[in-house]
Amino acid sequence: MKQFRYIILSLLATISIFGAVVVSSCKNKCGSTTCQNGGTCTSNVCVCPTGYSGNACQTGWSDVAIGTYNCVRSDCKPAVEGDSTWQSAVTKDATNGGYTIDISRFDNSSITVAATIDSAINGISKITIAPSTGSAGINATGTYTNNIITLDFTSAVAGIGGFSCHIVMTKL
């Protein structure tokens, strides 16, 4: 009789553990879709956190902008010396891959700036760069559409003064 009791208890424990695993693995399911990147299921639809979109929250807003770009600087006030064309790389920022990008060789310099990219409205995403440590006081606003980033920016370099320019970046 004692052995039968251990078998029943073992069977109940196994069923409980199996049930807990099944329930927890289905926690983020929306029908046949699994919500990704921290998305949650509400009324059988994935609700995505800021920076992600898609039926399963699988697409980061920054994903479309990742790549290598030919860059052209123009309309600088005051005039800026040096090459006005160069290449930059746009990569996902490690701190928030969903909506933050890093732009290397910003303004044909050794500076890499972090930019936020907003969700696309009618195929146009808004891009913003705010000053941060080491970014030479760069502020910029612009857009990403059809593989082209356009930015109007200002820079205030300590001891040198400030300037403003327009950059057009075309994805290769």
Nearest to 90 by CA among 39, 151, 137: 151
Look over the chain and give the mean of its residue pLDDT values, rounded to a whole number: 81
* CB proximity list for 84: less than 8 A, separation 6 or greater: 72, 73, 74, 108
How far from the centroid of its chain's Cα atoms is residue 99's Cα?
A: 3
Amino acid letter, 155: S
pLDDT in tens, 69-97: 999 999 988 887 777 899 999 999 878 76
Region 2-59: CATH code? 2.10.25
144 vs 117: CA distance, rounded Å: 8
137 vs 158: CA distance, rounded Å: 8
pLDDT at 152 (0 to 100): 94
90 vs 87: CA distance, rounded Å: 10
Give me the phi and psi of 104, to 5 degrees please.
-85, 160
Question: At the topology level of CATH, where does 61-171 sit?
Answer: Lipocalin (2.40.128)
Domain ranges of the chain: 2-59, 61-171
The beta strands (E) that lie in the chain are given as 29-30, 33-34, 40-42, 45-47, 52-53, 59-60, 67-77, 85-92, 100-103, 113-117, 125-129, 139-145, 148-157, 161-171
| pTM reported for the whole predicted model | 0.73
The residues facing 152 across adjacent strands are 141, 166
**Identical fold at 2-59 and 61-171?**
no
Give every residue of the chain whose pLDDT is below 70, as ranges: 1-28, 97, 132-135, 157-161
Q: In the chain, what's the furthest Cα-to-Cα distance?
A: 94
